[in-house]
Amino acid sequence: MSVDVKVASTRAQARIGSVIKDKWRLDRLLGVGGMACVYAATHRNKKRAAVKMLHVEYSNDRGIRDRFLREGYLANSVGHRGVVTVDDDDIAEDGSAFIVMELLDGETLEQRWRRKGHRLPLEEVLAVADQVLDALAAAHDQGVVHRDLKPENLFLTRDRVVKLLDFGIGRLKELQPLPTTTLSGATMGTPAFMAPEQAKGRWEDVDGQTDLWALGATLFTLLTGEYVHEAQTVNETLALAVTRPARPIRSVRPDLPGVAAALIDRSLSFAKAQRFPDARAMQAEVRRVYAELSGNEGTHHSPLAVPEPEPLVRLPVAQEATDPRLRFTTARGVSASGLPAPRRAAWAPVSTRRWVLWGGVMSFSLLLVVLMREWASSRGEDPPSAPPVSAIVAPVGAAPAPAPPEASAPVPHVSVDQLPQEPRKKSGAGAGTPAKKDDPFARRR
The catalytic site residues sit at 148
Where do the H-state alpha helices sit in 142-207?
196-199
The helix/strand/coil state of 89 is strand
Element holding 351 (H helix, E strand): helix 350-378
The whole-angstrom separation of Cα 53 and Cα 51 is 6
CB 97 within 8 A of CB 68: yes
Q: Are 52 and 98 in contact (CB under 8 A)?
A: yes
Rounded to an integer, what distance in angstroms lies between the CA atom of residue 238 and that of residue 200? 8
The C-alpha angle 436, 437, 439, rounded to 5 degrees, equals 70
Dihedral sign computed on CA atoms, order 134, 244, 331, 105: positive
- What does the alpha-carbon distance between residue 131 and residue 137 come to, in Å, rounded to a whole number? 10
The answer to whether the CB of 162 falls within 8 A of the CB of 131 is yes
Q: 213, 270 in Cβ contact below 8 A?
A: no
